[in-house]
Amino acid sequence: MTHLDTELNELKVNIIEMWNLVISQMNKGEEALRTFDRDLAREVVETEKRVNMFDLKIDKDCENIFALFQPVATDLRLILTSLKINNNLERIGDIAASIAEFTLKADRDFNKDILDRTKIFEMYAIAREMLSDTLEAFDKEDTRLARTMFNRDSQLDDLDSRALDVLTQSIAADLDQVRNNLLVMSMVHKLERVGDQTKNIAEEIIFYFEAKVLKHKKRKEKLK
């Protein structure tokens, strides 16, 4: 194994560790919301510092590999993919912490009926599965699994739109719950953003293993 291979393997290990940490953040954020556990929500907010540390380390490691080894072909794609996946994971970590902060801002436990009607926990489930499945796709070089993210992201978009209708009606009908309902609306929008970020990760996985740039293809199709 060359020195470059060693560095690339370590890079992948760090990315996967960060990935698992972000998944854990999402799990704990959901549990904090479900049980209105403020201590757990604070833990999610505090742990965001670890996510940021991974972000800085992975960026620095990629810069060092570029400078020392000047990678090409598949190795170069791995570095480029790692940088972009790292960026998206850091944003998802921010989102998980933001949702936990919304839980802390609530003046009382959230209305269970509103949580059910907005299907926020269904959104959480889809978002978490997307994160776990993209990790598997990256680890096992499974671009077919990566492509399933596009449909699931659309599901989150639909749920976000429907939740907005539910919350708009509820805010108008129950002024006593306005603050918490606005917080739920913010959480729902954040979960929709997790879908966007995870879809971006899926596109990078496909780029890495197939050398196909899907974002550029979409832009060209829109211009036709």
Q: What is the CATH number of the domain that holds 169?
A: 1.20.58.220
Number of domains in the chain: 1
pLDDT surpasses 50 at 222: no
What is the C-alpha separation between 55 and 52, in angstroms, rounded? 5
CA 52 from centre of chain: 14
What is the C-alpha separation between 134 and 129, in angstroms, rounded? 8
| pLDDT tens profile 41-81 | 999 999 999 999 999 999 999 999 999 999 899 999 999 99
User: For position 221, what pLDDT does the model report?
Assistant: 46
Q: What's the one-letter identity of residue 51?
A: V
| Spatial CA neighbour of 218 closest among 195, 200, 192, 193 | 200
Q: What's the one-letter identity of residue 167?
A: L
User: Which class for 224: exposed (0-12), middle (13-18), buried (19 or more C-beta within 10 A)?
Assistant: exposed
Backbone angles phi, psi at 184, to 5 degrees: -65, -40
Domain of 17 in residue numbering reads as 3-223
Radius of gyration of the chain (CA): 19
| pLDDT tens profile 11-20 | 999 999 999 9
Distance set, CA 63 to CA 10, 70, 219 (Å) = 14, 10, 29
What is the C-alpha separation between 110 and 35, in angstroms, rounded? 9
A 10 A CB-CB count for 221 gives: 8
In the chain, the percentage of residues whose pLDDT exceeds 90 is 87
Residues 93 and 25: beta-carbon distance below 8 Å: yes
| pTM: predicted TM-score of the whole model, two decimal places | 0.91
H-run or E-run covering 176? none
